[in-house]
């Protein structure tokens, strides 16, 4: 073999090696610009506050700003719609993935996206504390009194939720089915609108995340029950649904997702950043403020959990005959 042939082959091998190295080099620089994080709820609610604390913690770990963008409405699915609607799968556009993302497409005749095909599941973060509140001067002192009134007065109770297909909506309908109740859901764009509606008397009841906590502590709202596996630390006098004889626990885990087709190396960078950020003292303090517990899952486990959630929710939606309003 001549030196000329050896030289040409060496150059070819070197060129091939450089070509193979380029993606790794590009990945090693991720992120090299700000990351956009969609929060599909209005500003000022518990999710918005939590996600901003998380975004700040991620920013400090990846060395780039994580910019929160609120897109409220439609029961929390607008971030998912943006991901599925042509966002580049480069890791620079992410969204919170609330549980309504798995439910809404199974409640409408023309689903806006497929939760099993259109997303990359990066990390599950936590689950909510939910509860039912009424105005402090409402006639119902307990949740059982509210249920008895609703059963005796079909259609007269209007309850607010942050949207059709949310855990708040579906759990309230599960309760209605178990108790033989007819009440009317009024969907809002988020916690702030929902709670304000109850405070102003437009709705008698609000089913909502623990964004109600400060209003309850201030004596403006009365907490009738919570939906977790045990009583809330800050509100130990409020019984759980299970204690009231309703075999329901609802915590509605949420996480972070991106468009389908993301580079696995980029997913790993983001997964580790969110893993660390979820344990950041500032984020942990907000979780504690809203009586929420860490429930972190990495990308692989979150993907498995997402499929199980989608299938379980589909069976429940079909059993209850639920449709999005």
The pLDDT of residue 28 is 58
Q: Which tens digit of pLDDT belongs to each residue from 16-60?
A: 333 343 344 344 589 999 999 999 999 988 899 999 999 999 999
Q: How confident is the model at residue 249 (pLDDT cuts 50, 70, 90)?
A: very high
Q: Which tens digit of pLDDT belongs to each residue from 78-95?
A: 999 999 999 999 999 999
Asked whether the predicted pLDDT for residue 305 surpasses 90, the reply is yes
The pLDDT of residue 193 is 93
Peptide bond preceding 231 in cis form (omega within 30 of 0): no
Tokens of 289: 């403020």
The pLDDT of residue 17 is 39
Q: Which tens digit of pLDDT belongs to each residue from 114-124?
A: 999 999 999 99
The pLDDT of residue 127 is 94
Contact of 266 with 64, CB cutoff 8 Å = no
Task: Give the pTM.
Answer: 0.82
Closest CA to 55 of 287, 282, 293: 282
Alpha-carbon distance of 143 to 316, in angstroms, equals: 24
Q: Which tens digit of pLDDT belongs to each residue from 127-151?
A: 999 999 999 999 999 999 999 999 9
Rounded average pLDDT over 91-106: 96
Q: Which tens digit of pLDDT belongs to each residue from 170-197?
A: 999 999 999 999 999 999 988 899 999 9
Q: How confident is the model at residue 324 (pLDDT cuts 50, 70, 90)?
A: confident
Asked whether the predicted pLDDT for residue 5 surpasses 50, the reply is no
Alpha helices, DSSP H only, in the chain? 3-28, 46-62, 78-84, 100-103, 143-152, 167-179, 191-200, 213-217, 264-278, 281-289, 299-320
Worst-scoring range by mean pLDDT, 70-74, 118-122, 262-266, 319-323?
319-323
Average pLDDT, whole number, for the chain?
A: 91
Q: Which tens digit of pLDDT belongs to each residue from 267-295?
A: 999 999 999 999 999 999 999 999 999 99
Contact of 39 with 47, CB cutoff 8 Å = yes
């Amino acid at each position: 073999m001549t030196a000329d042939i050896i030289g040409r082959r060496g150059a070819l091998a070197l060129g091939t090696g450089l070509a193979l190295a380029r993606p790794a080099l590009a990945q090693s620089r991720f992120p090299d610009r700000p990351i956009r994080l969609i929060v599909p709820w209005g500003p000022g609610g518990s999710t918005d506050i939590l996600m901003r604390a998380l975004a700040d913690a991620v920013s400090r770990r990846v060395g780039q700003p994580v910019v929160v963008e609120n897109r409220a409405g439609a029961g929390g699915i607008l971030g998912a719609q943006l991901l599925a609607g042509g966002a580049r799968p480069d890791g620079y556009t992410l969204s919170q993935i609330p549980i309504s993302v798995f439910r809404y497409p199974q409640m409408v005749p023309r689903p806006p996206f497929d939760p099993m095909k259109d997303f990359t599941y990066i990390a599950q973060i936590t689950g909510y504390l939910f509860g039912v509140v009424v105005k402090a001067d409402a006639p119902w002192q307990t949740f059982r009194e509210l249920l008895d009134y609703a059963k005796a007065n079909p259609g007269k109770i209007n309850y607010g939720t942050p949207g059709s297909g949310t855990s708040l909506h579906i759990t309230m309908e599960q309760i209605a089915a178990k108790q033989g109740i007819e009440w009317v859901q009024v969907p809002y764009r988020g916690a702030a609108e929902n709670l304000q509606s109850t405070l102003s008397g437009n709705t008698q009841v609000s089913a909502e995340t623990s964004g109600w906590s400060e209003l309850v502590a201030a004596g403006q709202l009365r907490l009738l029950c919570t939906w977790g596996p045990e009583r809330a630390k800050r509100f130990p006098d409020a019984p759980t649904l299970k204690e009231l004889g309703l075999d329901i626990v609802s915590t509605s885990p949420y996480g972070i997702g991106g468009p389908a087709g993301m580079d696995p190396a980029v997913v790993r960078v983001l997964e580790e950043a969110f893993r660390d950020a979820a344990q950041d003292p500032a984020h942990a303090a907000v979780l504690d403020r809203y009586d929420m517990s860490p429930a972190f899952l990495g990308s692989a486990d979150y993907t498995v959990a997402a499929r199980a959630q989608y299938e379980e929710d589909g069976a429940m939606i079909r059993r209850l005959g639920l449709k999005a309003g």
